[in-house]
């Protein structure tokens, strides 16, 4: 029951490359959508469930990506070890900033996270000696898992989708647990959560770190998949794009975050003519969703479908009873 959506998504993701073999939208855009889905799910933990806004999530994504890129190209670390180091490094940084930053609420928290995101981006650009500056780092080695090299689009599709499903599974488990309920509780009333014995400061900090580490893992995969990183991929605008994905799908809905990530990834592909207006279109989407569908498109559609389904089911049940 809890994992029904996960099973359905698994089937769909396995079937797609068979239905559309060698399709650009499946194995190339699809892989980007997968990275976005992981990021949106991680941000949703923080923003949707715990209610702590972050406008600097791209920074953690960037930290994971640059850790892998730097360590493998400059110091020839094995990719998996570099990835692990990136995750630990991100966790430490996230923990250190979480304590002071999460004391803030609302707009102030938004400003602080935004500032953090911009600072990280500036470091990536300015520390050119190590990071390659605005040009970034290229020739990142191929990622290999136990001797199996991930060197084709189709293989990347398999790895990324497996990562999406893994993160989805972790996410669903977390939400339906003691910690997940604590997050949703402190979202509505920190007072009440505290009097139930929840250490809200520690809980917020824990979820901030968890969310950052998942984003860093996505960054590391992204770096190997692209074999190239530059600061542009981890800018403030990308943070906003992530927020748009989460809001569009519906705050506090894990599948909504995936849905949002897919829409925001495919939209520019379909609207190539409007390329120059991309940021404007995303802004408009964010605004319109907040005004007209504050619960998020995915959540609203899901509720409607559920109600329609129940109605049909009830009617067929009644007619069944009459005969």
Partner 1 sequence: MALLEVRGLSKAFGGVTAISNLSFRVDSGVVYAVIGPNGAGKTTLFNMLSGIYQADSGEIHFKQQRITALAPYQIAKAGISRTFQNLQIFFNMSVHENVLVGCHLRTASGVVEAMLRLSRVRKEERQVHYWADESLEFCGLSAYRNEAADALPYGVLKRLEIARALAVEPQLLMMDEPAAGLNDTESVEMIHLIRRIRDRGTTVLLVEHNMDLIMNVSDRLLVLDYGSRLAEGSCEEIQQNPKVIAAYLGGEVRTGV
Q: Applying CB under 8 A, which residues contact partner 1?
A: 170-171, 173-174, 176-182, 184-185, 187-189, 191-200, 206-207, 210, 252
CB of 93 to partner 1, least distance (A): 18
Element (H, E) at 261: helix 254-270
Rounded to whole angstroms, how far apart are CA atoms 13 and 79? 26
Q: Is residue 137 within 8 Å of residue 73, measured between CB atoms?
A: yes
Rounded to whole angstroms, how far apart are CA atoms 103 and 57? 18
Rg of the Cα atoms in the chain: 21
Phi, psi of 148 (to 5 degrees): -95, 110
Q: Which residue has the tokens 């996960």?
A: 6
Cα distance from N-terminal residue to C-terminal residue, the chain: 31
CB of 152 to partner 1, least distance (A): 31
Nearer to partner 1, 99 or 176 (CB): 176
Nearer to partner 1, 138 or 199 (CB): 199
CB of 12 to partner 1, least distance (A): 23
Nearer to partner 1, 167 or 262 (CB): 167
Q: Is residue 39 within 8 Å of residue 61, measured between CB atoms?
A: yes
CB of 176 to partner 1, least distance (A): 8
Which pair of tokens denotes residue 157?
Answer: 């599709």
CB of 300 to partner 1, least distance (A): 16
Nearer to partner 1, 167 or 229 (CB): 167
Nearer to partner 1, 126 or 177 (CB): 177
Nearer to partner 1, 104 or 174 (CB): 174
Which pair of tokens denotes residue 295?
Answer: 């619960």
With left for phi above 0 and alpha for psi between -120 and 50, is residue 290 left, alpha or beta?
alpha
Interior angle at CA 132, CA 128 and CA 136, nearest 5: 130
CB of 252 to partner 1, least distance (A): 7
CB of 99 to partner 1, least distance (A): 15
Total residue count of the chain as it appears in this document: 323
Which pair of tokens denotes residue 251?
Answer: 């705050």
Closest CA to 27 of 140, 160, 148, 143: 160
Q: Is residue 82 within 8 Å of residue 207, measured between CB atoms?
A: no
CB of 210 to partner 1, least distance (A): 6
Nearer to partner 1, 117 or 250 (CB): 250
Nearer to partner 1, 179 or 267 (CB): 179
Closest CA to 56 of 66, 65, 47, 67: 47
């Amino acid at each position: 029951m809890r994992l029904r959506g996960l099973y359905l998504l698994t089937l769909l993701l396995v079937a797609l490359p068979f239905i559309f073999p060698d399709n650009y939208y499946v194995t190339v855009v699809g892989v980007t959508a997968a990275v976005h889905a992981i990021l949106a799910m991680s941000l949703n933990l923080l923003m949707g469930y715990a209610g702590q806004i972050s406008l600097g999530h791209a920074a953690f994504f960037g930290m994971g990506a640059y850790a892998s890129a730097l360590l493998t190209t400059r110091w020839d670390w094995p990719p998996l070890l570099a990835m692990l180091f990136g995750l630990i490094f991100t966790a430490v940084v996230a923990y250190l900033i979480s304590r002071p930053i999460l004391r803030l609420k609302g707009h102030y928290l938004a400003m602080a996270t935004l500032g953090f995101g911009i600072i990280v981006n500036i470091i990536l650009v300015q520390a050119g000696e190590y990071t390659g500056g605005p040009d970034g780092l290229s020739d990142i080695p191929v990622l290999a898992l136990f001797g199996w090299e991930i060197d084709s689009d189709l293989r990347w599709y398999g790895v990324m989708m497996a990562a999406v499903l893994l993160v989805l599974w972790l996410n669903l488990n977390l939400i339906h647990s003691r910690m997940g309920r604590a997050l949703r509780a402190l979202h509505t009333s920190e007072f009440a959560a505290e009097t139930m014995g929840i250490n809200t400061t520690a809980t917020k900090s824990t979820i901030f770190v968890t969310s950052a580490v998942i984003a860093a893992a996505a960054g590391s995969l992204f770096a190997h998949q692209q074999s190239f990183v530059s600061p542009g991929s981890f800018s403030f605008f990308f943070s906003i794009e992530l927020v748009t994905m989460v809001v569009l799908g519906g705050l506090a809905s894990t599948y909504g975050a995936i849905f949002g990530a897919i829409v925001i990834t495919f939209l520019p592909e379909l609207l190539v003519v409007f390329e120059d207006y991309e940021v404007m279109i995303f802004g408009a989407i964010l605004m319109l969703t907040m005004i007209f569908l504050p619960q998020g498109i995915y959540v609203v559609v899901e509720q409607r479908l559920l109600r329609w389904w129940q109605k049909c089911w009830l009617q067929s049940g009644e007619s069944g009873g009459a005969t």
